[in-house]
Amino acid sequence: MNEKRCWSMLVEWEHCKWANMNQVFLLGMTPLAFGSHLVFALGYAHLIFVL
């Protein structure tokens, strides 16, 4: 696979991931979404640990 193409895909994925995280963070601000926010936080911590 072309390294440059792979890199741009990674950057695009990162951007998409951060956009989703911001959305989830905003959702997490509402008490109703607190449970899912907690699950997301645990999942993200696990992701960092794996990487």
The distance between the two most distant Cα atoms of the chain, rounded to a whole number of Å, is: 45
Q: Is 40 helix (H, G, I), strand (E, B) or coil?
A: helix
3-state secondary structure of 28: helix
Q: Dump pLDDT digits (tens) for 22-39.
A: 777 776 666 555 566 677
Tallying the residues shown for the chain, one arrives at 51
pLDDT value of position 7: 73
Mean pLDDT value of segment 6-22: 76
pLDDT confidence of residue 32: 55
pLDDT at 17 over 60: yes
Say if residues 37 and 27 touch (Cβ distance below 8 Å).
Answer: yes
Q: How far are the Cα atoms of 15, 17, 20 from residue 7, in angstroms, in the given order?
A: 12, 15, 20
Q: What is the pTM of this model?
A: 0.34
